[in-house]
Amino acid sequence: MSEKKAIFLDAPAMSLAGAGEALAKFSKKAAVLVNADAAGLAAKCEALGGVKCQAADLAAALEKNDFCLVEGGEEALAQVLEAANRRTLVVAACAEGVAFYGMAVNGKAGKVERKVDADDVALTIATIANLPISADCTAGIIYQVLKDPNLKLTEITKLEEALARMEQVMARNSREPWEKHDCA
């Protein structure tokens, strides 16, 4: 199973109303926090373990790191979307606010009016991408952008079910040869 990845795109001058193909794809399925205060968000993402890289080198950087930080505009967004797969969360700080796209994001959320700050956005990124969270964190998860508000509980349930199936297979395979057939 591939690991979860996250990409943060810092593009304060980029508008989601642009005419590019990448922007159209991104805008169509992104949940946008229009009242987000993104001041200091890049530093918060870096504190979560984000590694700065160039958009052109993003695919190689994602091979080595779980969280990458990219600066740029629409061209960088096109490269980010090209490097992302279904297990990748893409977060873009742009002119309209902060947009979430990809893994575990409710693409039908559209514009979310909730007021959030950089701490809330960083915690939501960390929660979705399984990044370490500090013990003194006081931020709140932005549930309005999530596909499943019980994201972690659902993941734990799936893991427990997979473990139970593996235990059944191991128990079945550890029987003696004469116990495997009912030839009485």
d(CA 121, CA 119): 5
| Model confidence, pTM | 0.82
Within the chain, how many helices (H) and strands (E) appear?
A: 6, 7
State the chain's mean pLDDT as an integer.
Answer: 89
**Beta strands 67-71 and 51-52: pairing type?**
parallel
d(CA 105, CA 91): 10
What confidence tens digit (pLDDT) does each residue in 48-86 have? 999 999 999 999 999 999 999 999 999 999 999 999 998
How many Cβ atoms are within 10 Å of 171's Cβ, its own excluded? Answer: 9
Q: Where are the alpha helices (DSSP H) in 55-150?
A: 58-64, 74-83, 118-129
Structural domain boundaries in the chain? 5-145
State the pLDDT at residue 154.
86
